[in-house]
A and B are shown apart, each in its own frame.
Chain A
């Protein structure tokens, strides 16, 4: 195992946050030394984190690592045992609640309500009047091609449509901070793409967005910054470039003329991720020496030294 890895994901030695990019001035969320225990289990341990305003911040981590607990504490749904959380400069999400949109991981809808009544209800719970919320509802329904369904009851919608409505429920108050817990889970590619566009549009409008996900490719594409929590500890926090740089250029993308089985038994290889047509291998030694060794035993059609993908980093950290 690489020395950097051993250094980085030890529970007692979390990575320091990278300096906030110049375009992000203030923190939308400030978490300071927050710990939360459930019985004997420490769900979140001494977490410190800053989510800068205007950023798209990805929360990643395996199941049960503490993502949802962190998000619930930010939303003040559960209280930390110790530490402090400030949201939009206020002491808790309670006082900033009207400016925060929230889509929890476990989300449902009132099945007998009509789409419009439901969205109005969610908007009014955020302190918006009907006069304020109705044009927003109409605009978003139109944008997501749901206008014809506005007066239909929720149980009449398809699953994909219902998921879009859930998403609209979180953004209908035009929040400054949007927290999405696994927003794309269960969505088909078309709806995923559609909602991803909405997220990007909101970001362009200045909304700070936090979302947790298992989908590393989505996190790579959307997020300005990534935070990874593992067994309650912060193990990654920074921009994608920072994180990839931290994990070094030790990943080689290979396309071989013959069978990939020649890679078996090569002592320099620490791990292989076989994608069929190509292989990503992580090296412990010198890439040049490895290339010479490889050329000697098979035809090498492609040899590229790359940064490790977020997926690889995730697997490295979570698999330890």
Chain B
């Protein structure tokens, strides 16, 4: 056991002192922050062009609305250096008996020459309720959505207003009458020991989706980080020919277990760092009801299972390969297992008490993800299911670690071509 702990300590210290790990730990929050800062900046600075567009108005009345609203929009966007958005500059186009097709060809040429950004064609019959007539928007830059979205929103409001007026219906009253009924979701009402009624807790999106997705993603990140490190470490040891030196002091099983425990500890450290960040956010939001100590304990338990299970798979496969390129191709099926467990858990989130969700909880490679997720949402699974899945997860981990040590024992001394699956199975049986 001392040898295992010595290897584990070395693995742990090597990883947590590495720049990759330190960079990796802060990368996720940093990337999210950068994303938001960039989006904010982009919103204010990137789209500040004049968007000139021509309106062929068959109704004769909607152009004025567009021109008025555009003026308002442009005013909101500001001017000069303080400008934070585009300016929409509509121009009325009179067809004057010309062929509409010829007009559109001419205007398209102007768009190609970038004299014009878009052309809007509004049919005369657009006010007819239930009419089939559609407003047509032409542009070279079809991926730019801000202008067509604004036009659609502006015209839709005006057309609807006019339709109500034509029909002699009070639109404000209709809006009031069609306002959706307020719908709130709660948990269960309880009676406390002193007989008083404990009101049902109100559930919200954060509790229903935020916490489970946070836990799920955290487990995925921790598993991927630790498993990837194991792979790199074992390949480096193999390429540097360190393994045989180590095998003079420890058995392959001790070496494997030491490495697994080391990265298991790293996975826990990673989780604790992110939990600390999560706690900070909870305190900032004043949402102390989101803290569930029991859930955190279960999460850590399942995280260790997942880290050991996937770590041993990665380690066994890595030990069988001579270089990283070989390993990457051999590891694709293992990566698919992790991704499947992660993505599959989102299916569980939709119906946590479904037969599929229960079945997935007992698939060994998915157990840590799906069961942990089910425990974080209501209805929580029955105790027997949790215990059974835990036993399964532990048994699977032990079995995979054992099989991995068999592969590892042979693999770390092998050089050359990576083995195929039948060969790996033969190594396990050897």
Contacts and interface: CB of A to CB of B under 8 A. Distances in A.
A121 interface: yes
Contacts of A97: 248-250
Interface of B: 2-3, 6-7, 10, 14, 18, 237, 240-242, 244-251, 413
Interface in A134-179: 166, 169-170, 179
Contacts of B244: 72, 77, 104, 106-107
The 7 closest A-B pairs by CB, nearest first: A102-B248, A108-B240, A125-B249, A108-B241, A104-B244, A106-B241, A108-B242
Interface in A242-280: none
Contact of B247 (A75, A124, A170): A75
Q: Which of A108, A113, A122 has the most CB of B within 10 A?
A: A108
Contacts of B251: 94
A316 to B, nearest CB: 32
A133 B18 CA distance: 26
A127 B6 CA distance: 9
B248 A121 contact: no
B241 A125 contact: no
26 contacts: A72-B244, A72-B413, A75-B248, A77-B413, A78-B413, A97-B248, A97-B249, A102-B245, A103-B245, A103-B248, A104-B241, A104-B245, A106-B244, A107-B242, A107-B245, A108-B240, A108-B241, A108-B242, A110-B242, A112-B14, A112-B18, A121-B6, A122-B245, A124-B6, A127-B3, A179-B248
A67 interface: no
Counting chain A CB atoms within 10 Å of each CB, the highest count among B7, B242, B250 belongs to: B242
A100 interface: yes
Contacts of A78: 413
Nearest to A127: B2
Given A103-B248, A112-B18, A121-B10, 12 more contacts: A75-B247, A75-B248, A77-B244, A77-B413, A97-B249, A104-B244, A107-B244, A108-B241, A125-B7, A126-B249, A127-B2, A169-B245
A103 B10 CA distance: 20
Contacts of B18: 112
A311 interface: no
Interface string A75-112: 10110000000000000001001001111101111111
- How many of chain A's residues touch chain B, expressed as a range? 20 to 34
B411 to A, nearest CB: 13
B248 A111 contact: no
A288 B396 CA distance: 80
B157 to A, nearest CB: 64
A111 B3 contact: no
Contact of B250 (A111, A112, A125): A125
Contacts of A122: 245, 249
A307 B185 CA distance: 99
B6 A110 contact: no
Contacts of B6: 121, 124-125
A212 B242 CA distance: 19
Contacts of A113: 14
Given A75-B247, A78-B413, A110 B7 contact: no
B109 to A, nearest CB: 63
A109 B248 contact: no
Contacts of A72: 244, 413
A84 to B, nearest CB: 19
Nearest to B252: A77
A246 to B, nearest CB: 34
B241 A107 contact: yes
Nearest to A97: B249
Contacts of B248: 75, 77, 97, 100-104, 170, 179
B247 A125 contact: no
Nearest to A93: B248
A139 B248 CA distance: 23
Nearest to B244: A104
B246 to A, nearest CB: 7
A145 B3 CA distance: 30
Given A77-B413, A125-B7, A127-B3, A110 B249 contact: no
Output the residue of B14, B237, B240, B249 with the most chain A CB within 10 A: B249
Contacts of A108: 237, 240-242, 245
Contacts of B249: 97, 102, 122, 125-126
A77 B247 contact: yes
B240 A110 contact: yes
Nearest to A77: B247
B246 A125 contact: yes
A290 to B, nearest CB: 50
B324 to A, nearest CB: 16
Nearest to A106: B241
Contacts of B3: 125, 127
A247 to B, nearest CB: 34
